[in-house]
Amino acid sequence: MNVGKVTEVIRYPVKSMQGEYLSAASVHDYGVEGDRFFAWERSKRPGKHLTIPESPFLLDYDVKLEEKGSLVFIKEGKRYKQGDKEIYMDLESKAGTDINLVHTDPAGTGPAYWDSPLLLTSKASLKELTRLSGREEMDMLRFRPNIVMALGDAEPFLEEAWIGKNLKINDVILHIEKGCERCAYINFDSKTQEVDSNVLKTVVKENKQIFGIYASVKKPGTINIDDSIEVLG
């Protein structure tokens, strides 16, 4: 059954930094190619990654992952290469400590830092949550999805009814594992860094702390913008 289409494909090359919009993404067993392959960690606390709630300044930078696997950081129109000292100086001054940029192994612990490799959200659910939160608008990026869906005239949060079922998008087959239980991350506006604790409170009150669905990958392939979405059962 065709239920809608893909409207946005997003990856986050560096954990807790801005997302990178793609026209198409290669999807592997471990998720979108290049998604959360990097993270900033405290030099004195290996494995302790910087996150948005404690380090919202990470959102100052757009990030692009080049074909050869190196990063480009962009702030206020200026581009910095991966090893540029200016980035370290800026982030370390704000973090108040020395930090390292670390690379994760997708064949090992995996890059996603999530319960499942992919996170899917819908425009209808965002529209309803925006209304319930009493906000005029809300950016989907605060919810860090990989795939954003338009589901026609479907009711908000319909995607949660797919838990336990399979989806087909182009040549990719996903298994919907469970709803995404939210935390304080979603209180931070990805563009302005404004903090609104009412966002998480609303998700807890109105939808049992769930926004979006986690999916594992049963068949890898490619997902494109405007691909149709089919529920297989």
Q: Does residue 62 contact residue 22 with C-beta atoms inside 8 Å?
A: no
CA 149 to chain centre: 14
Distance CA 180, CA 6 (A): 19
pLDDT bracket for residue 106 (50, 70, 90) = low
CATH architecture classification, 2-231:
Beta Barrel (2.40)
pLDDT tens digit sequence for 116-129: 899 999 999 999 99
pLDDT at res. 104: 78
pLDDT at res. 88: 95
| pTM of this prediction exceeds 0.85 | yes
pLDDT bracket for residue 112 (50, 70, 90) = very low
Distance CA 132, CA 127 (A): 9
pLDDT at res. 194: 94
- Report helix, strand and coil shares of the chain as percent, to nearest 5: 20, 40, 40
Whether the pLDDT of residue 233 is over 90: the answer is no
Neighbours of 98 (CB within 10 A): 10
Whether the pLDDT of residue 110 is over 60: the answer is no
Domain locations in the chain?
2-231
More confident of the two residues 103 and 73:
73
More confident of the two residues 104 and 105:
104
The one-letter code for the residue type at 209 is Q
Buried b (16+ CB within 10 A) or exposed e, 182-205: beebbbbbbeeeeebeebbebbee
pLDDT at res. 109: 52
Which H or E run contains 198? helix 198-207
Pairing of strands 147-150, 118-122: parallel
Token pair of 218 as six digits = 């049963």
pLDDT at res. 111: 44
pLDDT at res. 113: 47
Region 182-209: mean pLDDT is 96
Whether the pLDDT of residue 196 is over 60: the answer is yes
pLDDT tens digit sequence for 39-83: 999 998 888 889 999 999 999 999 999 988 999 999 999 999 999
Token pair of 142 as six digits = 């605060």
Whether the pLDDT of residue 115 is over 80: the answer is no
Q: Does residue 174 contact residue 216 with C-beta atoms inside 8 Å?
A: yes
Please give the backbone phi and psi of residue 60, each rounded to the nearest 5 degrees, phi first.
Answer: -65, -20
Q: Please provide the average confidence, as pLDDT, over all residues in the chain.
A: 94
